[in-house]
Every structure is written in structure tokens, then in C-alpha cells.
Chains A and B, each alone.
Chain A
């Protein structure tokens, strides 16, 4: 089937366009016969003078509107979603069954510890598993997302500097291939950042690191494998250099999907890291969130972890907040608890042996795509990739095609586009992360589509420039959308539903 033969779904009118005056889904009872007037309940002063301009629809019309909208979504349940750096793996349904257990889903956040022993036991077990996976013994499950984990860890590093009387350490080193959240988290935590260059091989340049180290450096943030999908093979040397200089090593765990059961950050010298449960541990994200970004730390950093900590004694599980060096709470209650249940279910479903297989297949799938596409698309680095592969659109530049055009054309083919224009150190980057949950047939169909697009780029570049052509909306004017957004509905004329 060619992209042009796929039927185009109709664009969906807004609720305001579907509205008809006086139409109702539910008729509220009239005041009187026991139901008081609104003014009696609220007082005259709090009554609106005019009714709000809400859309007026029959209930069935409203339900159909949202159901049709939902069918326009591209999701991991409908399409291959190789969005690099985001680890859009399949979310197993068994996770939902576990999280839907009323003991978890109906638990009130204000329950006492003795009333939620099962929940606390699950948290405690999840902490132990994450500690084992990362090789770092102490965990906080509170942070609600990866960047929140970064911020929590940097606040702990700041607290440690303060405790040791080392407030002159106010710089964090960041490689030029880092996720944008890294420098952002540093700034919010009160640190300055210093850039470290990548070398010719895409890995951290050790000389650049040596030059940047000094008595003002509190820590370095790395991602390993890095955002180019390349494993920092000199990580041992990097961590030694930092520790000799009295600095700590933070690892952004966004790319843990490449190294589960194969190597452990704690073993290669990392002092603190975060996990993205919504990536590595298969919990939903990308609009289906929320996420969870637990952190793992060494013995040395443990006193600074957020409170409350879960402790186990003879009487069962308890919550302990009596920890004077703690940075305090970073999230209400226990973080995004339902996500933690899903992550636990995922880890139990796999077990230690199979977890290694997850990473092996993620790496294999990325390298399979790398080999199938390396003739058609330029590879900026020779180094074999880990769980994701970065191409560029350089080979397509002759006909004026850019990474954006390739991404838009993939939508026509039924694929979510890869991440484009990231990492920033690669011009016209196309960052593809298939994850381990895709079959060879899916990978082959995707590669066939990419090869077809490479041919189209030579033979019919105008087609790519116009893409997407078989979607409810065509190529969006992104500049105007940012500069002059229209956030109201000016329509007067209702349309047919």
C-alpha cells in the first residue's frame, strides 16, 4: 500500500463548532420541590450574571467527538514509535492489571503506614531491585520524572557541599551531547554549568574534562550510553578523575535500556543517578504519563535523600522523617505510586535473567536498523551504537531535503517520526530508537519506508517538502503557530456533527 492510497481521516470539528443552543446531555432538576435556589446556596453576589459560553451538545455527540479524536492519536498501541531518547517501548497490560488492583488503586494517600503495609512492602522491594540494577544501594522513589530526579540529586549534591563547607564548588560539568534538562536542572539547583566537548568518536573528550576540572567543580552529569547512542568506554577513567578532584559523578539514567544486567553505574564509579521508570521499566508516557524518576545513591549521599524513608522493623514497614541532613520532601506522599506499581510488575514479570535480554534486544534492534540504513543515510560516527542510532540528512541535502521533511514523510507512511535535531552536536540529526519490543517484520517495514523516502528525496523532493499529505492536517506552519497562536474559537456558524 502506498501512502497515497491510505484513506485520510477527516479532521474533527471542535466542541464549540458542534454546539447547538439549548442542547443538553443531562437536564439538571429545576429548583423547587426540595431543591433550593442557587442564590440561597451561594448568595446573590456570587452568582454569574451571564451563563458561561460552554459548548452545548447531546451526550452521544460529546462521546463520539472524543472517541474520534482519540482515534487520530498515534501511540505505541497503534504505530511503531521510534522516538529516539524516549524509549517508547510497549506498555505490557499485566502492569495495568497490577496497578488496577483495588488495594493499590483505591488506597487513600492519607492512610497511616499500618494501613498500607502492602503498598510499602512493594515500594521497599522496588527500591531493592533498583538498587541492584544500578549498583547503588539507596533509593528514593519520590521524584515524579527524570528531570525531577536530576533536580533532587543536584539539591542533594548542593546539601553535601554545604555540609562539608565547600560552597565554592558551584559548577557542574556537562557534555555537549547532554539532554537539555541537565543544564536546566543545574541552574534551578543553583549551580553554574561548564561545557565539555565530545571527541571525534562521539565520546567525552578526556583532555577537555581535565582542563575543566578544578576546585570549583561540584559534579559532572553524564548520560551513559550518551545521547549519540555511544557507550562511554572511558567511564572508569572519567569517574576516577572526578573523584580525585573531590567532585561527584551524576548519571542521567535515560538510556538505562541499553545496559540492564550488563553493567552497573555504581560499578563504574557513578555516585548518584536517576531511572526513568516510564522509559526503561515500560510504564506509559508521552501523554499517557505521569512518569517517575527515582534516584539511586551511594552510602555517602544517603543522609541527604528526601523524606520520608521507608524503614522495615519487626512491627512492619514504617515511614521515617527524622533525618536531619535530608533535603526534605520533593513530592507529596510517595510520588506517582501507580507508576511504581507498574514498574514493579514489569521487573517481576522479567526477572533478573530476562532483564539482560531486554537490553541485548534493544541494542540488537538499533544496530539492525543501523546496518539496513547506513547506505542511504549518513552516519556521523563510526562507533557501533547501543540502543539507539543517530543518522543525519546530509546525503539528502543536495535536493534541499532536511531531517524535518523525512520526519514528516514518515507520518504519511504510518510511523511516528524519530527524534530530529537532537543531539545538538549533530547537524540534521535523525535519532532512531526502536526498543526491544518490536519484531523483525516491523523493523523491516520501517527500514523499507526509510529507504523509499531516501529514493523520493532524490526523485521527487517536492513530495517530501509537502508531507504529510494523507493526514487530517497538512504541513503545519510552525513559525506562525509559535508567533501568532490563535487560542480562541471565533466561529459563529455551527457545523454538522
Chain B
């Protein structure tokens, strides 16, 4: 799968699409592959306020349960409710239909702390050594 170059990434395998003061958040194809067979995702309600790095939800597979972390601070303005019933969109299209939440950004400066595609793929290559 080709990873979009116009997204920002986090070392904890979230992606962030920043546009017009909001950020759309999901997890990368690598995260989906590592999780294996997905079972549940627990996403927050609209209106919740998150700090950068806060856990906003949890994803569970037959292998493990992992927390999901907010790449930027702000208020949740939209949640992908479809994932509550069916995780197929996430498994098939993690960068598109598998998006999870949309945040209204409260501190745009934090975006500089996220990494770009090249840095993210370097990180994956380093992980592979183990």
C-alpha cells in the first residue's frame, strides 16, 4: 500500500491530515497489519477535549489491545461512527474510509512535532531490525 505523502505521522502509528484548522486522525496500514484481525474499536464522543498525546480510544485485535493517541490538541468535532459496527473499512482503507476522528485544532504550532512520511518510513525500517 502506498502511504500518502501529504499526511503527517506519529511514532505511535497514527496519521494526521491537517486542513482548514482541523485534523483528521487514523492509524497507518502498518499499525493495521501489526494488529492482525481487528475486533473492536472504542472511539470517543464529539465534544471531548484532547491534549496532544492523550489516549482518545482503544483498538482491539485477536492479538492485543492498543491505545490510540491524539497527534494534536483540540476538540473532537466528528467521529467515524461506521467503525463501531464494522471494522472492514479500517482494514481495507486505513488512510481513507478507515479514518477515526476529526479534531478542531487548538494549538497549530504542535504540528511541527509530527513527522513526515520519509521520517515515518525510516522509523519502520529501524523497527524491522528487531
Taking Cβ atoms with an 8 Å cutoff, the residues of A that contact B are 380-381, 402, 404, 420-421, 424-427, 478-479, 482-483
Contact = CB atoms under 8 A, between A and B. Distances in A.
A321 to B, nearest CB: 40
A103 B37 CA distance: 51
A380 B130 contact: yes
7 contacts: A404-B36, A421-B36, A424-B64, A426-B130, A427-B127, A478-B37, A479-B37
Contacts of A427: 34, 127, 130
A237 to B, nearest CB: 23
Contacts of A426: 130
B62 A479 contact: yes
Contacts of B38: 479
Contacts of B36: 402, 404, 421
Contacts of A479: 37-39, 62
B52 interface: no
B63 interface: yes
B30 to A, nearest CB: 10
Given A421-B64, A426-B130, A482 B39 contact: yes
Interface in B28-45: 34, 36-40
Chain A binding surface, main DSSP class = loop
B8 to A, nearest CB: 22
Top 5 A-B pairs, shortest CB-CB distance? A478-B62, A421-B63, A380-B130, A479-B37, A482-B39
Of A424, A426, A479, A483, which is in contact with the most chain B CB atoms at under 10 Å from its CB?
A479
A451 to B, nearest CB: 23
Nearest to B62: A478
A383 to B, nearest CB: 12
Given A421-B64, A482-B39, 15 more contacts: A380-B130, A402-B36, A404-B36, A420-B63, A421-B36, A424-B64, A425-B130, A426-B130, A427-B130, A478-B62, A479-B37, A479-B38, A479-B39, A482-B40, A483-B39
Nearest to B127: A427
A273 B93 CA distance: 46
A183 to B, nearest CB: 11
Contacts of A478: 37, 62
Chain B binding surface, main DSSP class = loop
A402 B33 CA distance: 11
A427 B36 CA distance: 11
A421 B33 CA distance: 13
A49 B37 CA distance: 46
B130 A381 contact: yes
B85 to A, nearest CB: 10
Contacts of A404: 36, 63
A425 to B, nearest CB: 8
A422 to B, nearest CB: 8
Contact of A482 (B34, B62, B130): B62
Nearest to B34: A427
Of B34, B39, B130, which is in contact with the most chain A CB atoms at under 10 Å from its CB?
B130
Nearest to B35: A421
Contacts of B63: 404, 420-421
A421 B60 CA distance: 13
A427 B38 CA distance: 16
Nearest to A481: B62
B46 to A, nearest CB: 25
A425 B64 CA distance: 12
A400 to B, nearest CB: 12
A425 B129 CA distance: 12
B42 to A, nearest CB: 14
B12 to A, nearest CB: 11
A404 B40 CA distance: 20
A424 B62 CA distance: 13
Nearest to B61: A479
A495 B62 CA distance: 33
Contacts of B34: 427
A423 to B, nearest CB: 11
A483 B40 CA distance: 8
Interface in B75-130: 127, 130
Contacts of A420: 63
Nearest to A422: B64
A8 to B, nearest CB: 25
Nearest to A476: B62
Nearest to A379: B130
A424 B12 CA distance: 13
Contacts of B130: 380-381, 425-427
A420 B36 CA distance: 13
Nearest to B39: A482
